[in-house]
A and B are shown apart, each in its own frame.
Chain A
């Protein structure tokens, strides 16, 4: 047992680092530094670069376009991505529907969709939540009714992230209203350009247009777009929720976040010293590092198969709870760090606008980020639901 990287692993680390240095888009870096809102093209530019290199989906099986890396290599890769402050790739294709398709999909579905997820040609969104089905996801009402070789879908989805850009969506739909809630659901892939689909923006507290309502009225979808068996969609849904055991904790990103807080706290003054010397503020940083380190080594133990809780989803639940809590604490501390300058609101600043924001450059995104970040303990199964999962799967309660 040891923590050292082998010479091969160190060489790999250097290779990743060099690749990022030489290939990360300069204009994207500039926008990030300015705190500008990123466009679809911004997200896709980095996606395409990684795809060209063959690194866009490290965890996928090699036969479908994965890298065949060891878990240590994947760990190194995500560390380097975070260290260089690269943007996070959209997860809906790469870490959500992609694995569902290569695990449960037909040969035709694999051939049709997987290459386009990898290339970024298709932008995906996730049709799970509904106005009446949040934590109680299985209570969903969107209906898919068979009509010859089509399903006709009617209903409403909500909190659909980035649906305004989506080419395709994966939807949980009720295909049997008489069965138990979980047993009458199917997992259906829907072309977002189909007639009858309307995407309406929901503006969140930070002012962002990130999530949407998706209305479906008599949307016709070929039966061949159903993944896995009819009425067995819950199996895919659960698989998807438990699948990303490692990414879900967002550890590498949080490490970068803590470093940024430290940089800011060294810049901000507090009396005749810097904020990082304030005993209360530095204690909060230390506690964050403590909990983040505990989370990191919990993830490493899970990767190595050393952690308890072998039940499906249990490990992911543990990582999700702690990971999201830590992300929120970082955002909270960021807002606290900038003091007065958390308040000014700069919605329009960015493209075509040369006015300099008020206060330090790092300040104006703190409040929107904090507000937006309240989502992390709510989405992906709220943290309360995650505790239910642990109680059921691990504790047998």
Chain B
């Protein structure tokens, strides 16, 4: 058992933190969000080329730094501290994770594009009726000659407006909620037959409703076995859950820190409100919750490569705790700030918005506790 980071990992964290300190102030972030594209593409490009750190979790053979989940967690925690709106989870964790898992020619082709910052991948997995059930799919992929034809509607696809590729789940067989028959495709985002309705999200990202209408894709768009991709989809969503936990560690650390600073400045009844014991205890509890998010994220990171059932049980516990704790820290940060906590102009509310959306992203606490129960609490 060993809990130390390598020097390379420490450097990765420092490099990214320094870069974000220069480029990602709250005002800079708000400007990116308000811009037409909803982002500053230069940031992603700089992460890829100037800093060269999108390579961190990839194998040397693909031009990477031979890292893995821990590198993703380090990146996401730092990005969380500035509530960055970069498509890291979608592109590197999920897209990269799927490509690493399947390997082969498509991985050899696309991973270097991710590392170089040219490829941005959005994960089109959710559907309006599906909630958090990854197998609940109405989108179909019908065999057509050598390739497939996709039809269906994918919901709230984060980063889709920016994407070069869509990673799409679709049925090649089976009934609507069956495990068998789920397939995964990596599709050119601009392929004919794809239309999008783009919109901003409450936490500062851009997303789309994505419609496939007789969208023809080549045979090599299929990742993994036809109809047998559910385990792969579960794996990458678990990887995303852990990355999200790391982001939550960064977001909630800042929520706590901001609240603490504010409580030392804000005067009421002739003294800083931080002198009041009722607020001191609340902030002590927030501190504990932030620490627990870090602990659960580390646990999840270190258990991502376990056999599937053990992994799923562990990740579900982690995600459920992250959801609960993020809610606690976010709500109490706003409450402690008082009225200013619910204004657009003040920073804390934007961290709260991101924390709130993270609660349910990739599955709510209830969803994950149910999955944990089904796996471990057998009669």
A286–B290 CA distance with the chains assembled, in angstroms: 20
A72 and B373 form a contact (CB under 8 A): no
Q: Which residues of B contact A375 (CB under 8 A)?
A: none
Binary B-proximity of A361-397 (CB < 8 A = 1, otherwise 0): 0000000000000000000000010111011001111
Please report which residues of chain B, range 1-59, place their CB below 8 angstroms from some CB of chain A when the two chains form the complex. Answer: 1-5
A282 and B377 form a contact (CB under 8 A): yes
Q: Which residues of A contact B263 (CB under 8 A)?
A: 397
A104 beta carbon closer than 8 Å to chain B: no
Instruction: Of the listed stretches B102-110, B159-167, B278-286, B346-354, name the one at the interface; the rest are far from the partner chain.
Output: B278-286
A285–B372 CA distance with the chains assembled, in angstroms: 10
A293–B321 CA distance with the chains assembled, in angstroms: 10
A211–B277 CA distance with the chains assembled, in angstroms: 31
B320 and A395 form a contact (CB under 8 A): no
A325–B178 CA distance with the chains assembled, in angstroms: 41
Binary B-proximity of A274-317 (CB < 8 A = 1, otherwise 0): 10110000110111011101111110110110111100000000
A237–B373 CA distance with the chains assembled, in angstroms: 44
B299 and A297 form a contact (CB under 8 A): yes
Q: Which residues of A contact B290 (CB under 8 A)?
A: 308
A37 beta carbon closer than 8 Å to chain B: no
B206 beta carbon closer than 8 Å to chain A: no
On whether A397 and B1 interact (CB within 8 A), knowing A2-B302, A283-B373, the answer reads no
How many Å from the CB of B63 to the closest CB on chain A?
24
A304–B298 CA distance with the chains assembled, in angstroms: 12
A394 and B299 form a contact (CB under 8 A): no
Q: Which residues of A contact B275 (CB under 8 A)?
A: 397
Binary B-proximity of A26-65 (CB < 8 A = 1, otherwise 0): 0000000000000000000000000000000000000000
B132 beta carbon closer than 8 Å to chain A: no
On whether A318 and B298 interact (CB within 8 A), knowing A397-B274, A397-B280, the answer reads no
B1 and A294 form a contact (CB under 8 A): no
Instruction: Of the listed stretches A3-11, A86-94, A170-178, A200-208, name the one at the interface; the rest are far from the partner chain.
Output: A3-11
Please report which residues of chain B, range 270-325, place their CB below 8 angstroms from some CB of chain A when the two chains form the complex. Answer: 274-275, 277, 280-281, 283-285, 287-288, 290-292, 294-296, 298-299, 302-303, 314, 317-318, 320-321
Q: Is the interface of B mostly helix, strand, loop or mixed?
A: helix
B379 and A266 form a contact (CB under 8 A): yes
Our pick among A295, A301, A388 for the contact of B277 (Cβ within 8 Å) is: A388
A301–B292 CA distance with the chains assembled, in angstroms: 10
A387 and B281 form a contact (CB under 8 A): yes
Measured CB to CB, the nearest residue on chain B to A285 is B377
B377 and A301 form a contact (CB under 8 A): no
- How many chain A residues sit at the interface, stated as a range, is 35 or more
Q: Which residues of A contact B314 (CB under 8 A)?
A: 293
A285–B298 CA distance with the chains assembled, in angstroms: 22
B266 beta carbon closer than 8 Å to chain A: no
B143 beta carbon closer than 8 Å to chain A: no
Our pick among A9, A274, A294, A321 for the contact of B296 (Cβ within 8 Å) is: A294
A297 and B288 form a contact (CB under 8 A): no
A394–B253 CA distance with the chains assembled, in angstroms: 13
Q: Which residues of B contact A318 (CB under 8 A)?
A: 287-288, 291
Q: Which residues of B contact A2 (CB under 8 A)?
A: 1-2, 302
Q: Which residues of A contact B280 (CB under 8 A)?
A: 387-388, 391, 395, 397
A395–B263 CA distance with the chains assembled, in angstroms: 11
A286 and B283 form a contact (CB under 8 A): no
On whether A298 and B291 interact (CB within 8 A), knowing A1-B5, A290-B369, the answer reads yes
A322 beta carbon closer than 8 Å to chain B: yes
B379 and A274 form a contact (CB under 8 A): yes
A309 and B287 form a contact (CB under 8 A): yes
Measured CB to CB, the nearest residue on chain B to A292 is B317
A110 beta carbon closer than 8 Å to chain B: no
A391 and B377 form a contact (CB under 8 A): no
How many Å from the CB of B68 to the closest CB on chain A?
10
Q: Which residues of B contact A1 (CB under 8 A)?
A: 2-5, 70, 302
B131 beta carbon closer than 8 Å to chain A: no
A293 and B1 form a contact (CB under 8 A): no
A301 and B302 form a contact (CB under 8 A): no
A75 beta carbon closer than 8 Å to chain B: yes
How many Å from the CB of B373 to the closest CB on chain A?
5
B291 and A307 form a contact (CB under 8 A): yes
A266–B379 CA distance with the chains assembled, in angstroms: 6
B260 beta carbon closer than 8 Å to chain A: yes
A103 beta carbon closer than 8 Å to chain B: no
A18 beta carbon closer than 8 Å to chain B: no
B377 and A387 form a contact (CB under 8 A): no
A2–B318 CA distance with the chains assembled, in angstroms: 17
A394–B263 CA distance with the chains assembled, in angstroms: 14
- 7 smallest A-B Cβ distances: which pairs? A304-B3, A297-B295, A391-B280, A390-B284, A387-B284, A294-B292, A298-B295
- Besides A2-B302, A293-B317, A307-B294, 17 more A-B contacts (Cβ < 8 Å) are A1-B302, A3-B302, A3-B303, A276-B377, A282-B377, A286-B317, A287-B320, A287-B369, A290-B317, A293-B321, A295-B292, A298-B292, A301-B3, A306-B298, A391-B284, A394-B287, A395-B274
| A–B Cβ pairs within 8 angstroms, 8 of them | A2-B2, A294-B295, A307-B291, A308-B287, A387-B285, A391-B281, A396-B260, A397-B275
